[in-house]
Amino acid sequence: MKTKILGIFCVLSFAISCSVEQDDKLIHLVETSNQYKDSVWMEQEDRLTSGEWYKVLLVFGWIDDETECKRIIENYKKTYPEINYRCNPVK
């Protein structure tokens, strides 16, 4: 379990440190690879533009990635209740 959590945080820190172009490359890699076909994106709604969503975190490696994504959102909502989050399957 520690390995899975570490993996999630590694992807998150990598995504945060990337430029927009690198983010696009990472998203493209994930969405075109069979390796991530059952994974889930945790997305955050833009605070200024309703309906605009940003990929924040890739949840993968769990038996049920959707359930784990929802659990992560529950924890985020405790700290940031004013922000909308959702789980979106990798396409």
Tracing tokens 């529950």 back to the chain, one arrives at 74
Distance (Å, whole) CA 55 – CA 41: 6
Put simply, whether the predicted model's pTM sits higher than 0.75 gets the answer no
Q: What are phi and psi of 14, to 5 degrees?
A: -65, -45
**How far apart are the C-alpha atoms of 3 and 61, rounded to whole Å?**
10
> In the block, which residue shows the tokens 């979106």?
88
pLDDT at 7: 52
Cα angle value 63/65/70 (rounded, 5°): 130
Q: What is the pLDDT along the chain (91 residues), one digit of tens a residue?
A: 555 554 555 555 555 554 566 688 889 989 998 888 889 999 999 999 989 999 999 999 999 999 999 999 999 999 999 999 999 999 8
